[in-house]
Amino acid sequence: MKKQERLRTSLSEEIEEMLNEQVMKEAKSSFNYLAMSAWCERRGFVNSAKFFEIQSDEERQHMKRIFNYISSVGGTAITPSVGKIQQEFESFRSVFEIGLDQEIEITRSISRIVDKCSELKDYTTANFLNWFLGEQVEEEAIARRCLEIFDIVDQQGLGFLMIDREIALVRDQAQPPADA
């Protein structure tokens, strides 16, 4: 049965597995951002809470985009299980540091799949993943800009409120990827 299914798709098992792993990473990323949003909300950082909620929604869209791609090329898309999600964070700044680390890891992970696509001459999937590489440039830039705000503003008392206010503007100021 499995063998027959494989014959009906040009998607290699190796790439299919990597794509399903990416589906899981995007889903986990979405839940991580949701936990960050709730953490910020509990502390009254309402703009940051909204910021992470939007990030969470975007990651869910990414997850669905890859999930649907696997199905559309005849592969087997697997609903991911994401394990335990971190709910508590050391500090306001650490939430954003974890966000940037997460984006960097996602960029590397997608690059590894593109590498494998080149090796196996799967140009269709490589082409599909190009959009994600462009998206990651924007996502990393946004996450880095957030941390810059922490570096600029005094991190105590009113400074935290100022940081939270500035976070609300970061997404509006970001340059969208060329084909967005």
Q: For residue 106, give Cα distances in angstroms to 59, 71, 87, 103.
A: 10, 21, 20, 5
- CA angle 36/99/108 to nearest 5° reads 145
Q: Please provide the DSSP assignment of 80-123 as one string.
A: ----------S-HHHHHHHHHHHHHHHHHHHHHHHHHHHHTT-H
Q: What is the smallest separation between the CB atom of 44 and ligand FEO, expressed in angstroms?
A: 26
106 counts as binding ligand FEO under rule CB under 6 A: yes
CA 81 to CA 43: how far, in whole Å?
A: 29
Decide: 138 and 176 in contact? Cβ < 8 Å. yes
164 counts as binding ligand FEO under rule CB under 6 A: no
**Complex with ligand FEO: residue 117 or 142, whichever CB lies closer:** 142
Q: For ligand FEO, which residue of 59, 122, 164, 166 counts as binding (CB under 6 A)?
A: 59
Decide: 128 and 116 in contact? Cβ < 8 Å. no
Q: For ligand FEO, which residue of 28, 62, 116, 145 counts as binding (CB under 6 A)?
A: 62
Q: What is the smallest separation between the CB atom of 109 and ligand FEO, expressed in angstroms?
A: 9
CA 73 to CA 67: how far, in whole Å?
A: 11
26 counts as binding ligand FEO under rule CB under 6 A: yes
Q: For ligand FEO, which residue of 12, 20, 29, 32 counts as binding (CB under 6 A)?
A: 29
145 counts as binding ligand FEO under rule CB under 6 A: no
**Complex with ligand FEO: residue 107 or 124, whichever CB lies closer:** 107
Q: What is the smallest separation between the CB atom of 93 and ligand FEO, expressed in angstroms?
A: 20
CA 96 to CA 129: how far, in whole Å?
A: 26
116 counts as binding ligand FEO under rule CB under 6 A: no
- Nearest residue to ligand FEO, by Cβ distance, number only: 62
Of 160, 171, 166, 168, nearest to 44 (Cα)?
A: 160
Q: What is the smallest separation between the CB atom of 161 and ligand FEO, expressed in angstroms?
A: 27
| Binding site residues, ligand FEO, CB under 6 A | 26, 29, 59, 62, 103, 106, 139
